Amino acid sequence: MDPFTMDPFIELDGVEKVFDVRRKTGFLKRERHRVRAVDSISFTVARGEMVGYIGPNGAGKSTTIKMLTGILTPSGGRLRVAGIDPSRERKRLAHRMGVVFGQRTTLWWDLPLIDSYKLMHRMYRIPDARYRENLDRMVELLDLGELLAVPVRQLSLGQRMRGDIAAALLHDPEVLYLDEPTIGLDVISKTKVRDFLRQLNAERATTVLLTTHDLQDIEQLCSRVMVIDHGRLVYDGALAGLHEAGESERTLVVDLERELPPIEAPPPARVVRVEGPRQWLAFPASASAAGLVARIAAEYPLVDLSVREPDIEAVIAKMYAERADRAVS
């Protein structure tokens, strides 16, 4: 591989974040309680990678992003972005990163969108030509033309999100952190945002770390996904590999000439549903369908068949649930 792309741009080594929370347990009584939001996480991200960072609610995703941006200081471990310790040199890093928190805006609520951009132009000391070029491009790609004169408070959620993404990119950051950038967006807005991110990553090699609960974001954008649960990294690899890790199954849908008793399939393949002449057989996603199909075709009056790929949502749900079971027992 090209040594440039091998250069770890983001590096976490045993990073931890512990919150001390005080809970009121009675009159004048408070109990101290520690929350290990991020628990010894290690990973690296190379320059130009687009990585999904997923996990159930409270897993520690936003906390990780806040440490990466320097908003929070790690309680332990080592964290570097472009060789810089974000919490120590937040300002220096600010010029090189962009961040979008889907849950809240970085734009000035009462000002027209364009005024927020003008303020950023000055704040980040973006050269005039560069600013104009970037703004034009964002306006075109994110369809912001009509919105520039509108005060942010009057924008719809999807419009505001597009406005926020543009704001995060006006200063040409090398890395973009997105914390749920498609939350609450309709299908068309989601597509717009995803198309834009894909193009940004392809053209500018911007490194992207994306947190989301919408697995379609990951499927469409990220070749690598990291799964975090209870502050720990439980999976780091290709999206396809999650199917194996989750022991997922594919489904063979078989249409027979007539209604028949359940097909006797070689285990672990088995009939999971019968509806008239149609039968559904589950088999491991890692296995080939060919043998199963040949056997059924030889022994049964087959009219038609199709194979359904495992649903990634189901795989992830199963993974979270299994881990939750283990944590309880």
Ligand X SMILES: Nc1ncnc2c1ncn2[C@@H]1O[C@H](COP(=O)(O)OP(=O)(O)OP(=O)(O)O)[C@@H](O)[C@H]1O
Residue number with CB closer to ligand X (12 or 59): 59
The mark string for 293-312 relative to ligand X (x by CB under 6 A, - otherwise) is: --------------------
Closest distance of CB 65 from Mg ion, Å: 8
Residue number with CB closer to ligand X (48 or 56): 56
Residue 55 binding: pick among ligand X, Mg ion, none (C-beta 5-8 Å cut-off by kind): ligand X
HSE-up of residue 303 (Cα within 13 Å, Cβ side): 8
Distance between CA atoms of 50 and 268, rounded to whole angstroms?
Answer: 36
Q: What six digits make up the tokens of 57?
A: 């609610």
Closest distance of CB 65 from ligand X, Å: 8
Distance between CA atoms of 81 and 90, rounded to whole angstroms?
Answer: 11
Closest distance of CB 64 from ligand X, Å: 7
- Count, in order, helices (H) and strands (E) of the chain: 11, 13
Closest distance of CB 30 from ligand X, Å: 14
Q: Which residues contact 327 (CB under 8 A, 6 or more apart)?
A: 230
Residue number with CB closer to Mg ion (61 or 160): 61
Residue number with CB closer to ligand X (56 or 310): 56
Residue number with CB closer to Mg ion (269 or 316): 316
Q: By the 8 A CB rule, do 106 and 167 touch?
A: yes
Burial of residue 12, with CB atoms counted within 10 A of its CB: 0-12 exposed, 13-18 middle, 19 or more buried: buried
Among 15, 59, 167, 200, binds ligand X (CB under 6 A): 59
Residue 37 binding: pick among Mg ion, ligand X, none (C-beta 5-8 Å cut-off by kind): ligand X
Among 10, 12, 15, 37, binds ligand X (CB under 6 A): 37
Q: Does 34 bind ligand X (CB under 6 A)?
A: no
Q: Does 58 bind ligand X (CB under 6 A)?
A: yes
What torsion, rounded to 10 degrees, do the Cα atoms 130, 135, 141, 147 define?
A: 180
Piece in contact with ligand X (CB under 6 A), picked from 52-60, 83-91, 144-152, 218-226:
52-60
Peptide bond into 268 cis (omega under 30): yes
Question: Where would I find the beta strands (DSSP E) of 120-219?
Answer: 175-179, 207-211
Instruction: State the residue for tokens 């974001």.
Output: 217
Residue number with CB closer to ligand X (63 or 251): 63
Residue 58 binding: pick among Mg ion, ligand X, none (C-beta 5-8 Å cut-off by kind): ligand X
Q: How many CB atoms lie within 10 A of CB 144?
A: 21
Residue number with CB closer to ligand X (30 or 92): 30
Piece in contact with ligand X (CB under 6 A), picked from 51-59, 80-88, 196-204, 240-248:
51-59
Q: By the 8 A CB rule, do 17 and 72 touch?
A: yes
Closest distance of CB 95 from ligand X, Å: 25
Closest distance of CB 231 from ligand X, Å: 7
CA angle 87, 89, 93 (to 5 degrees): 100
Q: Site residues for Mg ion, window 45-104 (CB under 5 A)?
A: 61-62
Q: Is 158 left (phi over 0), alpha (psi -120 to 50) or beta?
A: alpha
Q: Does 19 bind ligand X (CB under 6 A)?
A: yes
Selection from 289, 239, 299, 255 nearest residue 269 by Cα: 289
In the complex, which residues of this chain contact Mg ion (CB under 5 A)? 61-62
Interaction site with ligand X (CB under 6 A): 19, 21, 35, 37, 55, 57-63
